[in-house]
Amino acid sequence: MKYGKVKNIKTELLSDNWYTLNKVTFDYQREDGSWEEQSRECYDRGNGAAILLYNLDKKTVVLTRQFRMPTYVNGNEDGFMVEVCAGVLEKGNAEETIKMEVEEETGYQIDNVVKVFESYMSPGSVTEILHFFIGEYQPNMKIGAGGGAEDETENIEVIELPFVEALKWMATGKIKDGKTIMLLQWAQIHQLFNK
């Protein structure tokens, strides 16, 4: 676009109950050079990180299953979602956050993670950038049961399954979570289990 400039940005706080919801009003310059006032609601929940845990010897991945109320109110009959391990960044550090989340959610303590990409997850309304990682796990890295942090009411079930089965779950709709689909597809495209 030739124009697309923004000016006169005004922010109004609508809610800060869980995270922050702002109404942002601004002037936007159109392609013909004229200016128009627009407003959008922007939900700021912070940035996050997600990881695909994989084991090359067993050709397996570790996923989680937990209740997600927004999916329940939008047609997910039981409200449960199968997902990769993920969490909101602590102190802005994606790598350290994801290692901590892996231990809390799955019980595995991993040292090496590799960032593979990052993405805005819902750029029309949510400010979040998600940092995507992969990390290899071994059975001897399991130091706890996982299940999530007690003070965060997560109640997470840990699922280990063959990678090919996870792809089938994605194809049949048993996995509907975007970040999980993205990481499984990344692993398939990059032939993670064929090395």
Question: What is the CA 15 to chain-centroid distance, rounded?
Answer: 22
**Predicted local confidence at residue 148, as pLDDT:** 66
Mean pLDDT of the chain: 92
Nearest by Cα to 156 from 104, 87, 89: 104
**Predicted local confidence at residue 152, as pLDDT:** 60
**pLDDT tens profile 35-74:** 999 999 999 999 999 999 999 999 999 999 999 999 999 9
| pLDDT over threshold 90, residue 110 | yes
**Predicted local confidence at residue 3, as pLDDT:** 61
For 73, 75, 142, 152, the CA distances from 70, given in Å and listed in that order, are: 5, 9, 31, 17
**pLDDT tens profile 78-97:** 999 999 999 999 877 999 99
Instruction: Count Cβ atoms below 10 Å from residue 104 Cβ, excluding itself.
Output: 19
**Predicted local confidence at residue 2, as pLDDT:** 60
Which H helix or E strand runs over 168? helix 163-172
158 and 76 in contact (C-beta within 8 Å)? no
| pLDDT over threshold 60, residue 18 | yes
**pLDDT tens profile 139-186:** 999 998 777 666 565 678 999 999 999 999 999 999 999 999 999 999
State the Cα–Cα distance between residues 179 and 36, nearest whole angstrom: 35
